[in-house]
Structure 1
Amino acid sequence: MTADDYSFGTTDTTHGNDQREEYRLTGRVRVWIELESAVPEHGDSTRRIEASSYDVSSAGLRVGVAETLTRGALLPVTIALDSHHSTFELMAEVVWCREVPGDGLQAGLRLVESDETAYLEWMEAVARAMEEN
Structure 2
Amino acid sequence: MSDENMPEEKMSESAKLAIAVIGAIAVGFVMVGLNNQQSTEQKESAAMVRNYFNLQTMATEACPKAIKEKTGEQVYFPSETNSDKENYITMKWVGENSQKGGFKNASCTIRSVMGGISELIIDDKAVIQRKTE
**TM-score of the superposition, structure 2-length normalised?**
0.28
- Higher RCO structure (Cα 8 Å, ≥6 apart): 1
Question: Max radius of gyration: which structure?
Answer: 2
Larger fraction in strand:
1
Using structure 1 for the length normalisation, give the TM-score: 0.28
